[in-house]
């Protein structure tokens, strides 16, 4: 929301001059991101169902990021996650009106957001994250005594292909370094005598 990247009418009119900047839902002169998600009566009705502090809804903001910063200062993590789900549902409801001519009532949007929020929480409790929250310190580990370790890496791009191979023994001593570029030319250097 910081860069106002959602395609509100103001954003689209900025890209394609001559188009209307007005809100199709309430007729306001400018549909900015703050208007679409906070100030438009349809979105505001949904937000008011949650008994948010009225200062959050009545304070004027020029940018969506300013509004979210205030929200982050006031709401805890759980409530902020639910709030973002509500905003997402408000945006979807706005899109249904703009593109399909159909808009849900505020209570229906609120209920959909609650269902989505509960589904997300259930999913997060039941499923292991893709990336571990623990940071693993990855470093080179010596191979077993009298063994060697081979490290290989490759890259492809702009009609060029390259790869590299390094062979190290159990003392970390480099035995062979091989670098190849293009398709078939490569160079092998034996690093010890």
Q: 74 with 53: CB under 8 angstroms?
A: yes
- Residue 21 reports pLDDT greater than 60: yes
Q: 103 with 89: CB under 8 angstroms?
A: no
Retrieve residue 159's tokens. 């009609």
pTM confidence score: 0.60
Q: In the predicted model, what is the mean pLDDT of residues 152-161? A: 75
Three-state secondary structure call for residue 185: strand
Residue linked to tokens 């970390």: 172
Three-state secondary structure call for residue 107: helix
**Summary count for the chain: helices (H), strands (E):** 7, 4
| Sequence-distant (≥ 6) Cβ neighbours of residue 71 within 8 angstroms | 56, 80, 83
Retrieve residue 153's tokens. 């890496």
- Residue 180 reports pLDDT greater than 70: no
Range with lowest mean pLDDT among 65-69, 97-101, 103-107, 130-134: 130-134
Q: 2 with 67: CB under 8 angstroms?
A: no
Q: In the predicted model, what is the mean pLDDT of residues 9-15? A: 87
């Amino acid at each position: 929301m910081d860069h106002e990247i959602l395609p509100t009418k103001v954003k689209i009119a900025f890209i394609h001059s001559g188009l209307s900047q007005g809100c199709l839902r309430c007729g306001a002169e400018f549909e900015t991101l703050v208007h679409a998600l906070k100030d438009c009566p349809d979105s505001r009705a949904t937000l008011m169902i949650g008994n948010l502090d009225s200062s959050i809804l009545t304070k004027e903001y020029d940018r969506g990021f300013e509004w979210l910063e205030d929200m982050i200062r006031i709401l805890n993590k759980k409530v902020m996650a639910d709030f973002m789900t509500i905003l997402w549902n408000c945006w979807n409801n706005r899109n249904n009106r703009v593109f399909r001519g159909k808009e849900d009532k505020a209570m229906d949007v609120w209920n959909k957001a609650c269902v989505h929020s509960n589904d997300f929480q259930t999913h997060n409790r039941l499923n292991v994250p893709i990336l571990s929250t623990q940071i693993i310190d990855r470093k080179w580990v010596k191979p077993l005594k009298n063994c060697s370790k081979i490290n290989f890496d490759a890259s492809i791009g702009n009609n060029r292909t390259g790869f590299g191979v390094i062979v190290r023994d159990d003392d970390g001593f480099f035995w062979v370094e091989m670098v190849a570029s293009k398709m078939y030319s490569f160079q092998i250097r034996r690093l010890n005598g």
